[in-house]
């Protein structure tokens, strides 16, 4: 037992782990680490905001920055989107950090408050809060004396996730209008099918019946509605995915919409294997070479946020040339086909998605959407503004 303890303590002895000061600076520099990086283009974010402005010239814009700005980094996105009229997100801690960093425009909490203890924080930080159910409506009664919060009343027009059903929404509207703690009131709803053939008319009909005859501000349009349905633009649009340069539609690409990818997930080849026919790659040997094949091993895996479900054939760029993944994606590595790329070697740059290869296309191959790919980029991947 004593020997065991000695071995254990030896393992953690400071001798084996000098203080950080003793390491060369390059070790602590994210640029010099494992080659995977998420490169974020603030120019692309600004450009895409410009596309929103051109589509909805008469509306104010909430840039939707929930989920760490869809994986792009909240602080970076907030700077790049400084020309937006406000930012919308769900996480109150992130909203507080935005305020603390000096962000002075409107900040909306799209799911409102989860607990009455958040009320004084929301009031102090001048957050606009969604109210989507009776519990949240009741919470407002606990607002500190003198506090006034801008409220977005969420109407359930058919998505059936959050929001008051139409009759209840009318009652909620009236109690909010009369409430001592409520400043400006905005009516909002969210579309379930703005990106497909069912469109928005069926939900707009319900929404208009609530909004009719009122001078209240309205906010309904997500990216799909910004791009396709001008009649939904109203006072405040709420684009997310289009700001990041991806398409909300299955049938129109981001490039066709004039959007630029804001995130490039980039890495490098870190090993090359020459395979003979019959050789298999990776876990479960899920890919088998049928002819001699050069395979490149890329420093990127599902622990970086690359989808494990991406099958053999998922597109990838190696040295700017389009090729395909081979076999299973593992935690830290994936393999690519280097056939016809004699120049590819250790150190050759790889783009998993972004510049030159849309995240939408990779998502389609992996059975998901670009939203999920970008949000899933893992904390261990350095996010670098370019």
89 counts as binding ligand PLP under rule CB under 6 A = no
Task: Output the smallest distance, CB 371 to ligand PLP, in A.
Answer: 6
In the complex, the smallest distance separating the C-beta of residue 162 from ligand PLP, rounded to whole angstroms, is: 8
Instruction: Report how far residue 265's alpha carbon sits from residue 363's, in angstroms, rounded to the nearest whole number.
Output: 13
Q: Which of 64, 172, 263, 265 binds ligand PLP (CB under 6 A)?
A: 64
From residue 296 to residue 325, the character string flagging contacts with ligand PLP as x (rule: CB under 6 A) and all else as - is: ------------------------------
Check residue 163 for interaction with ligand PLP (CB under 6 A): no
Question: Within positions 93 to 112, which residues make up the interface with ligand PLP, using CB under 6 A?
Answer: 110
Catalytic residue among 23, 138, 171, 283: 283
What is the size of the binding site for ligand PLP (CB under 6 A)? 11
Asked whether position 223 contacts ligand PLP by CB under 6 A, the answer is yes
- Asked if residue 131 binds ligand PLP (CB under 6 A), the reply is no
- CA dist 289 and 293 (Å) reads 7
- Rule CB under 6 A: say whether 39 interacts with ligand PLP: no
Nearest residue relative to ligand PLP (C-beta): 240
Distances, alpha carbon 171 to alpha carbons 134, 281, 385, in Å: 10, 62, 47
Q: How far apart are CA 139 and CA 143, in angstroms?
A: 7
Residues whose CB is less than 8 angstroms from the CB of residue 187 and which lie 6 or more positions away in sequence, other chains included? 152, 153, 155, 173, 207, 210, 211, 214, 216, 217, 218, 219
CA 184 to chain centroid, in Å, comes to: 28
Report the residue number, 239 or 301, with the smaller CB distance to ligand PLP. Answer: 239
Dist CA 308 CA 373 (whole Å): 11
Query: Taking CB under 6 A as the rule, does residue 238 contact ligand PLP?
Result: yes
In the bound complex, what is the minimum distance in angstroms from residue 97's beta carbon to ligand PLP? 19
Residue 240 CB neighbours (<10 A): 23
Pairing of strands 293-298, 321-326: unpaired
Residue 283 annotated as catalytic: yes
CA–CA distance from 145 to each of 96, 120, 148, 277, 345 (Å)?
21, 10, 9, 76, 67
CA distance 333 to 344: 17
Between 156 and 222, CB nearer to ligand PLP: 222
CB nearer to ligand PLP: give 248 or 301.
Answer: 248
Catalytic residue numbers read: 66, 283
Tell me which residues touch ligand PLP (CB under 6 A).
64, 66, 110, 190, 222-223, 238-241, 248
């Amino acid at each position: 037992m004593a020997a065991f303890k000695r071995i254990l303590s030896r393992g953690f002895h400071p001798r084996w782990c000098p203080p950080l000061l003793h390491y060369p600076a390059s070790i602590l520099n994210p640029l010099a680490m494992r080659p995977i990086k998420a490169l974020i283009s603030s120019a692309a974010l600004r450009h895409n905001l410009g596309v929103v402005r051109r589509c909805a010239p008469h509306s104010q814009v909430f840039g939707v920055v929930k989920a760490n700005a869809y994986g792009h980094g909240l602080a970076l996105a907030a700077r790049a989107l400084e020309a937006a009229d406000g930012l919308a997100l769900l996480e109150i801690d992130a909203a507080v950090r935005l305020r603390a960093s000096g962000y002075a425009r409107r900040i909306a909490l799209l799911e409102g408050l989860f607990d009455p203890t958040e009320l004084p924080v929301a009031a102090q930080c001048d957050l606009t809060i969604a109210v989507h159910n009776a519990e949240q409506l009741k919470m407002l009664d606990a607002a500190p004396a003198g506090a006034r919060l801008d409220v977005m009343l969420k109407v359930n027009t058919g998505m059936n996730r959050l929001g008051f059903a139409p009759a209840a929404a009318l009652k909620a509207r009236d109690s909010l209008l009369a409430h001592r703690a409520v400043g400006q009131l905005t009516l909002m709803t969210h579309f379930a099918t703005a990106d497909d053939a069912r469109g928005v008319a069926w939900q707009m009909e319900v929404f208009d019946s609530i909004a009719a005859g009122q001078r209240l501000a309205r906010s309904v349009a997500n990216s799909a509605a910004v791009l396709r349905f001008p009649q939904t633009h109203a006072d405040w649009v709420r684009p997310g995915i289009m700001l990041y340069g991806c398409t909300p539609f299955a049938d129109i690409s981001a490039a066709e919409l004039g959007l630029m990818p804001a995130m490039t997930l980039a890495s490098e080849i870190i090993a090359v294997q020459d395979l003979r026919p019959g050789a298999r790659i990776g876990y479960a040997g899920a890919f088998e070479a049928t002819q001699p094949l050069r395979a490149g091993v890329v420093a990127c895996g599902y622990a970086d946020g690359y989808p494990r479900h991406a099958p053999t054939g998922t597109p990838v760029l190696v040295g700017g040339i389009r090729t395909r993944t081979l076999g299973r994606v593992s935690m830290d590595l994936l393999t690519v086909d280097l056939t016809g790329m004699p120049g590819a070697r250790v150190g050759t740059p790889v783009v998993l998605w972004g510049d030159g290869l849309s995240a939408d296309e990779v998502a389609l191959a992996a059975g998901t959407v670009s939203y999920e790919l970008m949000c899933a980029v893992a904390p261990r991947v350095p996010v670098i503004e370019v």
